[in-house]
C-alpha cells in the first residue's frame, strides 16, 4: 500500500507540472501577441486591425460666429456697457477700455504732426514771398526802362536822379530776394526727407488713432453676451473681458485621430446625431480639417480639429450641446 501511495503522488506531481507548463506557454504566447499587435491605450479602443473607413466621434454644436475681446498690455477696463446674457445688435458698444500710455503716445505724435504741418506751411509761404520779391525786382527794372524811354523823347529830361532812385530800390529788393532764395533752397534740399518724415508720422498717427478707437469695443455682429467677466477693472493683460456669440447658425466642432485622416477631407459627407439616436440625424459636410494644429490626449493618438457645416438647422439645437458624428470614408462608400 505504501508503494502504491508513492506512485500516486508522483502521478499527481507530474500532472500539476504539465498544467503549469501549459499555462506558462499560453502566457508567453499571449505576451508575444501583445508585443507584436497594435498598441491599445488605457483610455479606450484605438484603431482596429482592419480599418473600415467609417469614422464615429463625438463633437459639439458651436456658433458660426464668435467674438472675444482681451486686454492688451497697458489696457484696463474703465466701463462695461452690457451684462452677461444680454442681447446686442451689430455696432452696439460693449466695453470701454483705457490706455494711458497710448494716449500719451498719441499726444506726442500729434505735436510732431503739428510741427511737420507748420514746417510745410512755412515752405509754401516762403514760395509766395519769393514770387512777390521777384515781381518787385521786375517792377524796378520796368520803371528804370521807362525812365530811359522818357529821356529819349525828352532830351532835357533829368533822368539820372530818378534812375538812381529806382536802381537803389531795385538793389534793396534784390537783396531781400537773394535771402529768400537761399532760405527756399534749404527747404527744397530737404523736401524729400520732409515728405518721408511726414508720411511716417501720419502712418504712426493713423495706427495710434485706430488703437484709440479700438478702446471702445463694439459688437461686430448681432448676438448675445455669453461671458462678461465680473470686476473687469481687476483684469490683467491677455485676460478675456467679453465673449459674444451669434448662434443663429450653428456648426459642429469635432476632431479626428491621426489614423483617421486618410478617410476624411473637406467635402466629406457627415451624419450628425443630436441625441445620440440612430432615429434622427442631420446631414452635413466637412468644411475644414486643421492638420497644422493637433491636441495630445493622454495615452491617445494626436487629434486634429474638424469643422462641419450642417445642411439644415437642428431642431432645438443649442451651442455647447454634444452630438455624435459619423463620417463614411470614400473606401467604405465604395464598398471596399
The 10s digit of each residue's pLDDT in 201-231 is 999 999 999 989 989 999 999 999 999 988 8
Residues 251 and 296 in one domain: yes
Q: Are residues 203 and 263 in the same domain?
A: no
Residues 145 and 282 in one domain: no
Which of 15-24, 31-40, 289-298, 322-331 is the most confident on average? 322-331
Q: Which residue has the higher pLDDT, 152 or 39?
A: 152
pLDDT of 199: 93
In this structure, are 194 and 171 located in the same domain? Answer: yes
Is the domain of 61 the same as that of 94?
yes
The whole-chain average pLDDT of the chain stands at 80
* Number of residues written out for the chain: 336
With 80 as the cut, is the pLDDT of residue 139 above it?
Answer: yes
pLDDT tier at 263 (50, 70, 90 boundaries)?
A: confident
Query: Chain centroid to CA 27: how far?
Result: 57
Q: Would the pLDDT of 126 be above 80? A: yes
Q: Quick one: 284 and 248 in the same domain?
A: yes
Environment class of 275 (CB within 10 Å of its CB; exposed 0-12, middle 13-18, buried 19+): middle
Q: Are residues 236 and 326 in the same domain?
A: yes
Average pLDDT of span 93-117: 93
In this structure, what CATH number is given to the domain that contains residue 185? 1.10.287
Q: What is the 3-state secondary structure (H, E, C) of 29-63?
A: HHHHHHHHCCCCECCECCCCCCCCCEEEEEEEEEE
Q: How confident is the model at residue 322 (pLDDT cuts 50, 70, 90)?
A: very high
- Are 182 and 311 part of one and the same domain? no
| Contact status, residue 159 vs residue 148, Cβ threshold 8 Å | yes
- Whether residues 146 and 203 share a domain: the answer is yes
pLDDT at 41 over 70: no
Edge to edge, the sheet with strand 93-98 lists: 76-80, 93-98, 216-218
* Per-residue confidence (pLDDT) for residue 25, from 0 to 100: 41
pLDDT in tens, 229-260: 888 888 888 999 999 999 889 999 999 888 88
Does residue 283 come out as left (phi exceeding 0), alpha (psi in the -120 to 50 range) or beta? Answer: beta
Q: Is the pLDDT of residue 29 over 60?
A: no
Least confident of 87-96, 270-279, 298-307: 298-307
pLDDT in tens, 287-317: 999 887 666 555 567 889 999 999 999 888 8
Is 32 domain-assigned? no
- Residue 17: inside a domain: no
Domain of residue 184: give its range: 101-211
Asked whether the CA dihedral 228, 229, 230, 235 is positive or negative, the reply is negative
Number of domains, the chain: 2
Q: What is the DSSP letter of 222?
A: S
228, 329: one domain:
yes
> Which pLDDT belongs to residue 28?
39
- Whether 43 is covered by a domain: the verdict is no
Give Cα separations from 173 to 136, 153, 167 (angstroms): 7, 29, 10
Dihedral Cα 271, 273, 276, 280, nearest 10 deg? -110
- Greater confidence, 299 or 76? 76
Characterize the bridge pairing of strands 76-80 and 93-98.
Answer: antiparallel
Residue 164 pLDDT class (50, 70, 90 cuts): confident
Last residue of a domain, one of 162, 189, 211: 211
Amino acid at each position: 500500500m505504501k508503494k502504491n501511495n508513492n506512485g500516486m503522488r508522483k502521478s499527481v506531481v507530474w500532472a500539476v507540472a504539465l498544467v503549469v507548463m501549459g499555462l506558462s506557454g499560453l502566457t508567453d504566447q499571449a505576451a508575444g501577441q501583445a508585443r507584436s499587435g497594435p498598441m491599445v491605450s488605457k483610455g479606450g479602443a484605438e484603431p482596429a486591425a482592419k480599418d473600415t473607413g467609417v469614422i464615429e466621434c463625438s463633437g459639439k454644436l458651436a456658433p458660426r460666429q464668435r467674438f472675444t475681446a482681451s486686454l492688451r498690455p497697458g489696457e484696463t477696463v474703465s466701463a462695461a456697457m452690457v451684462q452677461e446674457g444680454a442681447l446686442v445688435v451689430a455696432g452696439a458698444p460693449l466695453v470701454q477700455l483705457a490706455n494711458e500710455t497710448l494716449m500719451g503716445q498719441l499726444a506726442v505724435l500729434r505735436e510732431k504732426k503739428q510741427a511737420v504741418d507748420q514746417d510745410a506751411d512755412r515752405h509754401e509761404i516762403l514760395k509766395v514771398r519769393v514770387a512777390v520779391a521777384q515781381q518787385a525786382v521786375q517792377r524796378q527794372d520796368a520803371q528804370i526802362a521807362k525812365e530811359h524811354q522818357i529821356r529819349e523823347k525828352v532830351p532835357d529830361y533829368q533822368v539820372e536822379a530818378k534812375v538812381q532812385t529806382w536802381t537803389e530800390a531795385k538793389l534793396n529788393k534784390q537783396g531781400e530776394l537773394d535771402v529768400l532764395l537761399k532760405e527756399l533752397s534749404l527747404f527744397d534740399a530737404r523736401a524729400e526727407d520732409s515728405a518721408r518724415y511726414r508720411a511716417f508720422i501720419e502712418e504712426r498717427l493713423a495706427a495710434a488713432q485706430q488703437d484709440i478707437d479700438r478702446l471702445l469695443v463694439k459688437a461686430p455682429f448681432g448676438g448675445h453676451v455669453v461671458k462678461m467677466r465680473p470686476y473687469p477693472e481687476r483684469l490683467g493683460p491677455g485676460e478675456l473681458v467679453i465673449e459674444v456669440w451669434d448662434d443663429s447658425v450653428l456648426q459642429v466642432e469635432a476632431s479626428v485621430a491621426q489614423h483617421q485622416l486618410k478617410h476624411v477631407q473637406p467635402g466629406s459627407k457627415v451624419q450628425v446625431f443630436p441625441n445620440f439616436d440612430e432615429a434622427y440625424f442631420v446631414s452635413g459636410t466637412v468644411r475644414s480639417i486643421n492638420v497644422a494644429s493637433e491636441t495630445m490626449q493622454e495615452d491617445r493618438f494626436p487629434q486634429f480639429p474638424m469643422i462641419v457645416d450642417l445642411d439644415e438647422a437642428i431642431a432645438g439645437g443649442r451651442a455647447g450641446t454634444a452630438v455624435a458624428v459619423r463620417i463614411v470614408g470614400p473606401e467604405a462608400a465604395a464598398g471596399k
